[in-house]
Amino acid sequence: MKPSAITCADSTLALLRDPYRFVSRRAAELDDDVFETRLLLRRTTCMTGAEAAEILYDPTRFQRAGAAPPPLQKTLFGQGGVQGLDGERHRRRKAMFLRINQPDRVEALAEVVTREWQRAVGDWEVAGQIDLYPQVQLLLTRAACEWAGVPLPEAEVEVRTRQLTALFDAAGDVGLGHLRSRAARRAAERWATDVLEQIRSDQLAVPDSAAASVIASHRESDGRPMELRIAAVELLNVLRPTVATAVYITFLAHALDVHRAWRDRLAQGDGTEDLAFIEEVRRTYPFFPVVTAIVRDDFQWRGHHFPKGRRVLLDLYGTNRDPRAWEHPDRFDPERFLGADPGPFAFVPQGGGDPAVHHRCPGEPISTRLMGVALDQLVRHMEYKPGQPAAPIDYRRLPAIPQRGFAIQQIARRRS
């Protein structure tokens, strides 16, 4: 049995300097998929690769309760949400999200986003040049609220967009950025609570299939409605990741600019290769850096000891680029997704396993479908030019986006 040696006194600063590549680079240096370090002075085990992902998603070995660091609970996830549940409570809450994300509901959202995108293009034409990332946040906030049954007066669009964006765009900051994210969490939960109170008291009528209605009427395993504060957290767990798709859409535009032969190929195609391009963007571009879990009971794996209560980090970005699972992993090649399914633990941009059972994001179909809307609009319904050559991705930022954003100019609707 080999010990998991502490790689350094504390790796917190190293992780903050390179959050997406820290685990895979350290693992490569050690020539081991598993290593132990300290993060925020706490002993932590880090893992990478498809086999490690399959282990981490084994609910008999790992739990999610208590896994997320408190700063992320108070910004990104909210306290009491589905990400921190296990067992029957998790399955029942996850079933609620799967109901919200049924294929017909995802398609309904795509229709709203298409309409909002077409409306936004008119504004972008007038502006002449825009930064795509914040503009997509605005249109996704409008669309997500309409689809979810959340009233959003035009006068509140910008403030609600700032609040929802701060939950993911500033959650990983330190200092003032993190404080702004926590303030946004408090304000957004008050907003969501008010909406849910109105639905439960019949002051606000929304369709039964809308996310706000499903959450307001959801019953926990004891037969009682969710506590209102937690219901508000879960409503934001629908709105926040929908708006966060702006990150992926910005990556999509960046990839179309860098890989112009593919842009031409998609523009001339019939749409059958769109999803392959989208999946390769999700594989190669950084979104979530890691996921966390807590060891349930002592066990051994690959010669390493995993003690009860140990926090474990799984490297998502590195697993998506693992040469053992991906041929030429650093090459951008959408054709790899025109073949066999890579498997639920080799391709983990939003978690691994089965979303109905494991802690894989149930909103993944929304991400891919809204990226599909954006791809269709960018290559077939718009004319534009990048404002500058495609900038490198800023890997130190959470979430990572292109340095200086992604500006486009000379924007116009494409005339058929």
Residue numbering of the annotated binding site for heme: 361
Element holding 47 (H helix, E strand): strand 42-48
Beta strands at 382-386 and 62-63: parallel, antiparallel or unpaired: unpaired
Strand partners, 314: 47, 291
User: How far is the C-alpha of 255 from the C-alpha of 280, rounded, in Å?
Assistant: 10
Q: Binding site, residues?
A: 361
CB-neighbour burial class of residue 308 (10 A; exposed 0-12, middle 13-18, buried 19+): exposed
Q: Residue 154 to residues 57, 149, 159, 339: CA-CA distances in angstroms? A: 42, 15, 10, 45
Beta-carbon neighbour count of residue 365 at 10 Å?
18
DSSP conformation letters of 146-191: HHHT----GGGHHHHHHHHHHHHHSTT--THHHHHHHHHHHHHHHH
- Beta strand pairing status for 290-295 and 42-48? unpaired
351 within 8 A of 291, measured Cβ to Cβ: yes
- Count of CB atoms within 10 A of residue 178's CB? 18
The span from the CA of 33 to the CA of 409, in Å, is 45
